[in-house]
Chains A and B, each alone.
Chain A
């Protein structure tokens, strides 16, 4: 493979420089996004809408609902603006935010050090681990046994990279949405399905009596702190969002939201909330 710049005619190089300039201008530091949002009167929140219970479409009412949608609702209320929910694809989360098509990401976004170089994060809103769900009849009971096998997951997230760090060699096949990957597992196209624990528990519950055929391996492939995504260099917006989240935690609303979507009466049946919304430091 050769560098494009060396072999293209001059007119292409000129176009390339124009593109760089345009991109640089487009990503120039805006005056104040918080002020813009207040002016617009609307907070545009990017969600996946395919990841129950974080954000998903209720087929009966055809509206997008979920834990992260409610979090965004709380932030919008605190900022004093209306909420507009926008569905985006997993792989498009960061580009959508960077290009200003959404103001904030509530899209099952893991806070990683790597991503800190391109976007900013709010306080951690959820802590989960990535685990692998396997078919019982494959006889796999530990992560190590996945070596040489095929594992499916969703494209554009941290799942693939994380699995490669822990199991080697492993054949990872990705699909556009997590539900499609689950279908692939059910159709015996792979030995395992890696996703965050909460989504796996949701899928496990949805399978109903058929979930006897499946097993969620107890080992964590990684620990995933999820947070709301924000554009870099917007300190006032981050302060406002973090303040809204701290208020939710202090008033007990955060706990109530957790119970509403993941508590003992839901499919996921978490008995207690294993985290608090109070920090935006992450290990890696």
Chain B
């Protein structure tokens, strides 16, 4: 709430406040990129585990997905930052605290959370490929993993990309929750600017705009992909 009731956006778009907000935006983007890069291969692995013929692997995959998806991301963040480090040996803990523990724990929480959802989307995508494809591949002599890699996954890709992009959008928005463990991303910096300047509308307005811009870019990519690579029906 500004003093005179007039909005003055130049306060938050110049000087120290601007650099705080920009650095916050930068960190949010970094958190998203790193978590995405880690989640994708992990999700593919978990999806394959859940589809495999080995019961133990299937069970493990299911336990992971259910355990992660049914707990809020806030609780994950609290756990990885306040609880997990206490279980580490002293040397690991010291390393962690010297290397920006807030961001590291945020990435861990975000990766594990996003991976669980992406694994489910990949699994659905793979199951949408007709089972005859897998049978044909096996009949031709390919092993399970080879069939997956050469025959099923390429076909599943078209079906799987839209939901994965949707999860990326969620990941981008979820980085805002890292503020509770002291990660200096965009939401944290917006709160910091608001405390110092008393200008809530301007600060949160600019931050919301930043979030929306990236969200719309991600959504635009999804739409483009859908038009360029429509999912083929058999």
Which residues in A have some Cβ–Cβ distance to B below 8 Å?
1-5, 16, 19-20, 23-24, 27, 91, 94-95, 98, 117-118, 152, 155-157, 160-161, 173-176, 180, 183-184, 187-189
The residue of chain A having its C-beta at the shortest distance from the C-beta of B102 within the complex is: A173
Residues of B within 8 A of A4 (CB): 9, 205-206, 209
For window 130-166 of chain B, which residues contact chain A by CB distance below 8 Å? none
B54 at the interface (CB under 8 A from A): no
Residues of A within 8 A of B198 (CB): 94, 117-118
Question: Which one of A3, A94, A155, A189 contacts B97 once the chains associate, using CB atoms below 8 Å?
Answer: A189
> Could you tell me the distance in whole angstroms from the C-beta of B170 to the nearest C-beta in chain A?
23
> Could you tell me the distance in whole angstroms from the C-beta of B210 to the nearest C-beta in chain A?
8
Residues of B within 8 A of A152 (CB): 182
B52 at the interface (CB under 8 A from A): no
| Bound form: Cα–Cα A184–B82 in Å | 8
The residue of chain A having its C-beta at the shortest distance from the C-beta of B6 within the complex is: A20
Task: Provide the main secondary structure of the chain B interface.
Answer: helix
Residues of B within 8 A of A175 (CB): 180-182
| Bound form: Cα–Cα A94–B194 in Å | 11
| Bound form: Cα–Cα A205–B32 in Å | 41
Structural contact, A155 and B195, CB atoms closer than 8 A: yes
B101 at the interface (CB under 8 A from A): yes
B75 at the interface (CB under 8 A from A): no
Structural contact, B201 and A160, CB atoms closer than 8 A: no
Structural contact, A20 and B7, CB atoms closer than 8 A: yes
Inter-chain residue pair count (beta carbon < 8 A): 72
Structural contact, B85 and A174, CB atoms closer than 8 A: no
Question: Which one of A91, A156, A160, A183 contacts B82 once the chains associate, using CB atoms below 8 Å?
Answer: A183
* Proximity bits, B108-119, A CB within 8 Å = 1, else 0: 000000000000
Structural contact, A173 and B182, CB atoms closer than 8 A: yes
Residues of B within 8 A of A98 (CB): 1
Interface residues on B, range: 35 or more
The residue of chain A having its C-beta at the shortest distance from the C-beta of B208 within the complex is: A4
> Could you tell me the distance in whole angstroms from the C-beta of B185 to the nearest C-beta in chain A?
12
Structural contact, B86 and A174, CB atoms closer than 8 A: no
Structural contact, A1 and B82, CB atoms closer than 8 A: no
Structural contact, B201 and A19, CB atoms closer than 8 A: yes
Structural contact, A1 and B13, CB atoms closer than 8 A: yes
Residue contacts A-B, CB under 8 angstroms, 10 given: A1-B12, A1-B21, A3-B13, A19-B201, A23-B1, A155-B195, A173-B102, A174-B188, A187-B93, A188-B97
Residues of A within 8 A of B5 (CB): 20, 23-24, 27
Structural contact, B196 and A161, CB atoms closer than 8 A: yes
The residue of chain B having its C-beta at the shortest distance from the C-beta of A2 within the complex is: B13
| Bound form: Cα–Cα A91–B9 in Å | 21
B70 at the interface (CB under 8 A from A): no
Residues of B within 8 A of A16 (CB): 7
Residues of B within 8 A of A27 (CB): 1, 5
Residues of B within 8 A of A117 (CB): 3, 198
> Could you tell me the distance in whole angstroms from the C-beta of B215 to the nearest C-beta in chain A?
16
Structural contact, B192 and A173, CB atoms closer than 8 A: no
> Could you tell me the distance in whole angstroms from the C-beta of B21 to the nearest C-beta in chain A?
7
The residue of chain A having its C-beta at the shortest distance from the C-beta of B12 within the complex is: A1
Structural contact, B191 and A91, CB atoms closer than 8 A: yes
Structural contact, A155 and B191, CB atoms closer than 8 A: yes
Residues of A within 8 A of B18 (CB): 1
The residue of chain B having its C-beta at the shortest distance from the C-beta of A175 within the complex is: B182
| Bound form: Cα–Cα A160–B195 in Å | 10
Structural contact, A188 and B93, CB atoms closer than 8 A: yes
The residue of chain A having its C-beta at the shortest distance from the C-beta of B201 within the complex is: A19
The residue of chain B having its C-beta at the shortest distance from the C-beta of A28 within the complex is: B5
Looking at A19, A173, A183, which has the most chain B CB atoms within 10 Å of its CB? A173
Q: Give the top 5 A-B pairs by smallest Cβ distance, nearest first.
A: A1-B13, A173-B182, A24-B5, A3-B9, A156-B195
Structural contact, B9 and A187, CB atoms closer than 8 A: no
B186 at the interface (CB under 8 A from A): no
B10 at the interface (CB under 8 A from A): yes
Residues of B within 8 A of A157 (CB): 195
Q: Using A3-B9, A173-B182 as known contacts, say yes or no to A91 and B101 having CB atoms under 8 A apart.
A: no
Structural contact, A3 and B191, CB atoms closer than 8 A: no
| Bound form: Cα–Cα A2–B205 in Å | 12
Looking at B101, B195, B200, B206, which has the most chain A CB atoms within 10 Å of its CB? B195
Q: Using A91-B191, A118-B1, A156-B195 as known contacts, say yes or no to A174 and B7 having CB atoms under 8 A apart.
A: no
The residue of chain B having its C-beta at the shortest distance from the C-beta of A21 within the complex is: B5
